Chain A
Amino acid sequence: MMLSLVVYSAQAQDKNRDSIQAKTNWLNGITLQADLASLVSSAIDNGESYSLEGGALINIKNKYYPIVEIGFAGADKTTAENINFKTNGLFGRMGVDFSLKKSKPNAKVSNNLVSAGVRLGMSNFAYNINNIVITDDYWKNSESKDFNNMTSTNLWYELVFGVRVEVIKNIYMGWSIRNKHLITKNAAGEVFPWYIPGYGKNATSNWGINYSLGYKF
C-alpha cells in the first residue's frame, strides 16, 4: 500500500514536470507510409515480379502499433523450358507491432522505434500458366497445355522485426525484415501458382524486406 502510494506520487510528479510526455495519451497519431524496397526490387527483377505497397499505422500508448498494409503485385516468369506464369492482384495484411524499448519513467518520449510484430496476410488473385509441353519420347508425340484464369486464395502470417526513425519532424523512415509462412497449402496435383502477391514465391516460407517512408498526421 505504501509502495503503491510512492509510485503514484512519483508518476504524478513526472506528469507535472514533463508535460510533453505523450505516454499517457492513448492515441498518438496515424502514420501513412509507402514501401520503397518493393520499388527497388521490382526494378532489379527485370519484370519477373513487381510490387507496390503502402500502409497505415496508429500509435497506441507508444507501445502498440496496429497496422494495415495493402498493395498490388504481380509476376511474369518464363522458365528455362519456356513455361510462362503470369499473375497480378491485390493483397492486404493486418497486424500489430510491439515496441521493444523499455519505457523509462523520466525519459523524454522518443519517436524512434524498435519493434517486433506479426501480420496476417491475404491475397485472392487469378493467374495463367502457359506452354507446358509434354512429350512422349517412345511413342513419339507431344502436346502443349495451358491453364488460364486459375484463381487462388492464400493466407499467410509474418514475423516482423523493424526499426523506425523520425528523420525530420513527422517524416519517418524505417525498415523491417519479415519471415513469412504460408498457412494455406497446395493440394497434390493442384495447378498451384508460382507467385503469390504480397507473399512472394510460393514456398512454405519466405523472407521479405520493407523500407518505408512515412508521414505522421
Chain B
Amino acid sequence: MVLLPLFGGWGLFFCMKHTIFIFLLALLSFTLFISCTGDEECRKEKYVKLGVGFYKKTFSETTKKYTSSSISIDSLTIQGIDTAGLLIDSLVYNNSKKISKLYLPLNKFVAISRFRVTFNETIDTVSILHSNSDLYLSLECGCLKVHTIDTVLTTNHFIDSISINNHNVININAEHLQIYN
C-alpha cells in the first residue's frame, strides 16, 4: 500500500525508452543475483567427545552426608585399547598435568571404547559400551557420528566408581561421566 503513490504516474513511464531501461536493470540484477551465490563450506563441528570430570566424595561429620567436590589429577596419561586388546599407538593425553576434566573420542564404528587410564602411577582400565548412530548435518558437512552410552565398566585401583551423568554424546563440551576417586 505504501508503494501505491510511487506508481501513480507509471502510465507515462511505459514509453519505449523506459521499458528498455527497466529490462536492462532486470538483466543487471539478474547477473548480480547469479554471481553472488558462492560456494559453501562446513562451519559445524564434525565430531563429538565424551566429557569426563574427576570428583572426590567426602563425608561430612556435621551434616552426616557425602558431598562431592571436583579434583584435579597431577599427572594423567590415557591410551585407547582396540577390540583385539592392543594399545592404540597415539595417546589421548600424555602425562598431562592438573587435569580435572577430559574429553575422549569414542569409537565410531564399534560399540565399545576401552581406555587405559594412568593416574599418576596407578593404572585403571575403563570400558564404555555405547551405541553409534549417524546424524545428518548438511551436504557441506556430511554426517556426524553420535553415541548413546549404555554401560561403563572399570577396574578399581584409583577409581572408586563412575556415574553416568548424561547418556547422549552429541557435542563436544558436555560432562557425560563422573569418575570418583
Contact surface of A with B, Cβ cutoff 8 Å? 37, 40-41, 44-45, 77, 79-81, 83, 85, 100-102, 104, 107, 110, 112, 114, 116, 129, 132-134, 136-141, 143, 145, 147, 163, 165, 167, 173, 175, 177, 189-192, 194, 201, 207, 209, 211
Contact = CB atoms under 8 A, between A and B. Distances in A.
Contacts of B109: 136, 139, 141, 143
Given A141-B108, A175-B23, A175-B26, A189 B136 contact: yes
A77 B138 CA distance: 13
B74 interface: no
Interface stretch (B29-37, B64-72, B118-126, B154-162): B29-37
A94 B88 CA distance: 61
A134 B80 contact: no
Interface string B24-53: 001001100110010111100000000000
Contacts of B139: 77, 79, 83, 85, 129, 194
Given A102-B8, A134-B108, A139-B108, A209 B33 contact: yes
A71 to B, nearest CB: 17
A132 B108 contact: no
A214 to B, nearest CB: 15
Given A139-B105, A143-B109, A165-B19, A134 B34 contact: no
Nearest to A131: B142
A120 B136 CA distance: 28
Contacts of B73: none
A167 B19 CA distance: 9
A189 B135 contact: yes
A45 B35 CA distance: 10
A81 B142 contact: yes
B44 to A, nearest CB: 13
Q: Is chain B's binding surface mostly helix, strand, loop or mixed?
A: mixed
A112 B14 contact: yes
A211 B80 contact: no
A177 B139 CA distance: 27
Given A81-B142, A173-B23, A136 B107 contact: yes
B92 interface: yes
Contacts of B40: 79
19 contacts: A45-B34, A83-B139, A100-B7, A114-B10, A132-B142, A132-B143, A134-B145, A136-B108, A136-B145, A138-B88, A138-B90, A139-B107, A175-B22, A175-B23, A175-B30, A194-B138, A194-B139, A201-B37, A211-B26
B11 interface: yes
Contacts of B10: 100-101, 114
Contacts of B8: 102
Interface string B142-153: 110100000000
Given A102-B4, A107-B11, A143-B109, A134 B30 contact: no
